[in-house]
Structure 1
Amino acid sequence: MKLYHIGFGTEDLGDNPPKLAFLSGEPERSRYIAQNYLRDFRLLSDYRGLNSYLGYLSNGQPILAATSGMGAPSLSIVVNELIQVGITEIIRIGTCGSIQPHVPIGSLVISQAALCRQGAANDIAPLEYPAAADPFLTVALARSAQALKVDYHLGITASVDTFYEGQERYESSVNPHLQRWLQGITQEYRNLNILNYEMEAGTLFKMAGVYGFSAGCICAVVAQRTEKESIVLDSKKAAVESAIAVAMKAAQSELEQFR
């Protein structure tokens, strides 16, 4: 039976179904991963722009390159259905904005856990339920980043629901009048040693704890919020490429010792 939102079911995954999914917010990134990193890939579905591809690593390991869409509500639907078709490990490959001066544009953030300020997550588990990444996936990502000699930072991520108000954007938003509790929130998070803003990891981590699968997150830094609000598009492609390469190496070699 094909699941309603992702557009495919277990019968579409063959005799050697994937257990690991790379999950990206952008359908273009999922397609890029399939076209450039997977062998014998095929499109499973592009329903609602949630492109999903089945392909294989050079060692024959089946991989799903899937799309979560933007934000936690969309991700929660996709992840629920991915678990239903047999996925047991998910690595989010995303983008983020740094809120620390020592985490520059072009580097990577590997999330150990998330400050989860997301309504979707509250439907999954209580507010105080931990939003923590799988330690083995996290170590595999960090080791892969070290082996590839890319600039990476390991720490806590702030996962919030909105790109503008929730990430305290004044200048680039149509609404410069933030609620009082959001005014100064970025500095508060900086003081708590939080590294970055993004919009999905917290809900992904809580779902992993409740549903019983493994989740990790690696994000390319495309904005430096200690300097300005805007995304630096010129640096995005190379940074995302590094994030994908680290995730691929983790899947192909580093994770084997933990499975």
Structure 2
Amino acid sequence: MSIHIGASEGDIAECVLMPGDPLRAKWAAETFLSDLRQVNSTRGMLGFTGTWNGHPVTIQGSGMGMPSLSIYANELIRDYGAKRLIRIGSCGAMQAHVTLNDVIIAMTATSTTTPSSTMMREVNFAPCADFALLRAAVAAAEAKGTRTHVGNIYSSDTFYDERPDLTEQMTRHGILAVEMEAAELYSVAARHGAAALAVCTVSDHLQTGEALSAEAREQSFSDMVEIALTAAFPG
């Protein structure tokens, strides 16, 4: 048991999927896992462990934003021995050619700052995905026929952003989408020698103002979870 995760020894699988929303963790676990059991409810941040195609998998909510994600990623790796962590969540498209329901596989994650940035001091550390997970996720998406983009995303510190100039520069430099967790996940995984990846579904578009309905989100999020699970266990 750790400070923020009430699971017992052996309750957490080496592969962990990390949605921000604890209720999305519950939905994903109930939808995709067998032999399911709840392993965490501390502070309402739900976690579940079960099996997918015979493989042990934990799905643990991370909360919103990099500080919250950092807490759970650190404890999952340090206290429970997690070795592969895959963020599954929503993102906002920043490029015109990216559309609603598309899946973004984050090769790298740009940020203005992260909880880990103070450790690097003057060094601009470049958080990147584990290549084996990245390659397996791309192959899984191609096999499913899912419209997918691979590249750089922006992990923002703020949801209600008031920096249109920053958004313009991000878009100009080819950043595909914005979310709030991946850069810190990649940094924490690198620090502890774990593998990490972020697979996100485009739920809204910063340029057009479009957004998915709740029903459409559920359907498109299913593709994202399947891609993440297949990437974790490519067979």
- TM-score (structure 1 length as normaliser): 0.85
Superposition deviation, residue 118 in structure 1: 3.1
Q: CA RMSD in A?
A: 1.5
Match for residue 137 of structure 1 among 133, 136, 146: 133
Please list the CA deviations of residues 207-242 of structure 1 after superposition, one character each: whole Å capped at 9, or x if unmatched: 1111110000100001111112x6432432222111
Bigger mean CA offset, 81-90 vs 243-252: 243-252
Query: 2:157 aligned with 1:161, yes or no?
Result: yes
Alpha-carbon separation, structure 2, partners of 1:243 and 1:215? 15
Aligned amino acid, residue 9 of structure 1: S
Query: Which consecutive residues of structure 1, in runs of 5 or more, have no partner in the other structure?
Result: 166-177
Alpha-carbon separation, structure 2, partners of 1:69 and 1:231? 21
Match of 2:13 in 1: 18
Is the 8 Å Cα contact of residues 84 and 232 (structure 2) preserved in structure 1?
Answer: no
Please list the CA deviations of residues 86-133 of structure 1 after superposition, one character each: whole Å capped at 9, or x if unmatched: 101101001000000111011100000011223313145445011111
Match of 2:6 in 1: 7
Match for residue 192 of structure 2 among 200, 204, 211: 211
Is the 8 Å Cα contact of residues 33 and 52 (structure 2) preserved in structure 1?
Answer: yes
Query: 2:212 aligned with 1:232, yes or no?
Result: yes
Match for residue 52 of structure 1 among 31, 47, 52: 47
Superposition deviation, residue 70 in structure 1: 0.5
Is the 8 Å Cα contact of residues 109 and 154 (structure 2) preserved in structure 1?
Answer: yes
Is the 8 Å Cα contact of residues 100 and 211 (structure 2) preserved in structure 1?
Answer: no
Q: Give the 3-state SS of the residue equivalent to 2:140 in structure 1.
A: helix
Alpha-carbon separation, structure 2, partners of 1:143 and 1:97? 23
Alpha-carbon separation, structure 1, partners of 2:186 and 2:150? 16
Aligned amino acid, residue 155 of structure 1: G
- Percent identity of paired positions between Structure 1 and Structure 2: 30
Is the 8 Å Cα contact of residues 124 and 206 (structure 1) preserved in structure 2?
Answer: no
Alpha-carbon separation, structure 2, partners of 1:221 and 1:188? 20
Please list the CA deviations of residues 156-196 of structure 1 after superposition, one character each: whole Å capped at 9, or x if unmatched: 0000111112xxxxxxxxxxxx4xxx232111111111000
Query: 2:53 aligned with 1:72, yes or no?
Result: no
Match for residue 92 of structure 1 among 77, 87, 90: 87
Superposition deviation, residue 251 in structure 1: 2.5
Please list the CA deviations of residues 19-74 of structure 1 after superposition, one character each: whole Å capped at 9, or x if unmatched: 1100110111111121111110100111112111110112x211111010000111
Is the 8 Å Cα contact of residues 110 and 155 (structure 1) preserved in structure 2?
Answer: yes
Query: 2:183 aligned with 1:202, yes or no?
Result: yes
Aligned amino acid, residue 73 of structure 2: V
1:97-116 map, 5 Å: 97-116=92-111
Q: State the aligned residue count.
A: 232
Alpha-carbon separation, structure 2, partners of 1:33 and 1:124? 34
Match for residue 193 of structure 1 among 153, 156, 174: 174
Match for residue 30 of structure 2 among 23, 32, 35: 35
Which entry has the higher C-alpha Rg, 1 or 2? 1
Query: Which consecutive residues of structure 2, in runs of 5 or more, have no partner in the other structure?
Result: none
Is the 8 Å Cα contact of residues 72 and 118 (structure 1) preserved in structure 2?
Answer: no
Spell out structure 1 runs of 4+ moving beyond 6 A.
none
Alpha-carbon separation, structure 2, partners of 1:147 and 1:36? 21
